[in-house]
Structure 1
């Protein structure tokens, strides 16, 4: 079985949709910095974000009043050094987003990298390296260089077999099959900037 891999990769950190207290903007950008405050043996950790319009700095609570021993030296060191992986992990944590009342805006923060397809169809494994909520129809349009109508038509006629609804949002790996009868241009693929 011929399986090719398509990858959803992050190109930068997503932005946060959260109302600014100083202006009408709802868009914030991560600053790339944590702020910590110790109160005895308890620690507060925040991720600093700034308003995309007025520049006002706000805090996103990561840990509040947590015993230092619970976090451990290694995690504290990563917070102190503004570790980029820790910033990304905290920003994309759904529990933190819920507690701080924001959602992520992935516009322009991802791209699709595809391996070329054979002209005789095959299986495609879509891997999400970042949890971008995206409709499979959009992935197929970009990866196969087809219009939305052609993708929907191919799925409806069974030329593309999907395990999920083509219009439902996905953010985790899935695989689909392309029938040999679907006209695929050999070599279709490469890197496509997300939007």
Structure 2
């Protein structure tokens, strides 16, 4: 029986980033939330498409341009259909494109709220002493690795730091720096719990929702 428990965590941000826009109705800068709806405006063969945002205070709208003066024939039919039907998968992908949004407006608000999907790859919590954790991201998040581990494993960040100092906890890539940085895709965390009295509880928390 393997002494290593291999688990994959897939992290999905729960709240889309919000741009700060000068709201002409409120008379000041406000955060805007994604409405999860597209606006498609056709003028002859040309199409403009926006993702609509709403002021969190007064519901005033702001349009994030996706396509401008685009020839209908140049748009993939399946993409156009998804835009016209407010396809939720496409909405999510575009709403969580932090880089594109920041490039457009400069200042955005990000949220650390995430959903964690846990997948057991190999081993059993009751028989293992080592955790090999793979982290996958379904979008950018400001959530730090140490906060994620502490919350999901039910331990303190100071204990994580102690494990790090004793080399019981390793992270690749970036090592110690990764612990206090926002999560990155394809991080590999290895945790040796052989000397811990609550080894089974921690490993069970790693593998179970």
Q: Same fold (TM over 0.5)?
A: yes
Q: In structure 1, what is the equivalent of residue 108 of structure 2? A: 103
Q: In structure 2, what is the equivalent of residue 73 of structure 1? A: 77
Gaps of at least 5 residues in structure 1 are none
**If the length of structure 1 is used for normalisation, what is the TM-score?**
0.83
**5 Å matches for 1:1-195?**
1-11=4-14, 13-21=15-23, 22-23=25-26, 24=28, 26-101=30-105, 102-103=107-108, 105-108=110-113, 110-114=114-118, 117=125, 120-163=129-172, 164=174, 165=177, 166-181=179-194, 183=196, 184-186=199-201, 187-189=204-206, 190-191=208-209
Q: CA deviation at 1:81?
A: 0.5
Describe the SS at the equivalent of 1:87.
Answer: helix
Equivalent residues, number: 189
Aligned counterparts of 1:134 and 1:149: Cα–Cα separation in 2: 17
**If the length of structure 2 is used for normalisation, what is the TM-score?**
0.78
Q: Cα RMSD between the aligned structures? A: 2.4
| Runs of 4+ that moved beyond 3 A | 113-119
Cα 1:72–1:58 change in 2 (3 A) is same
Aligned counterparts of 1:37 and 1:98: Cα–Cα separation in 2: 24
More helix by share: 2
Q: CA deviation at 1:185?
A: 3.9
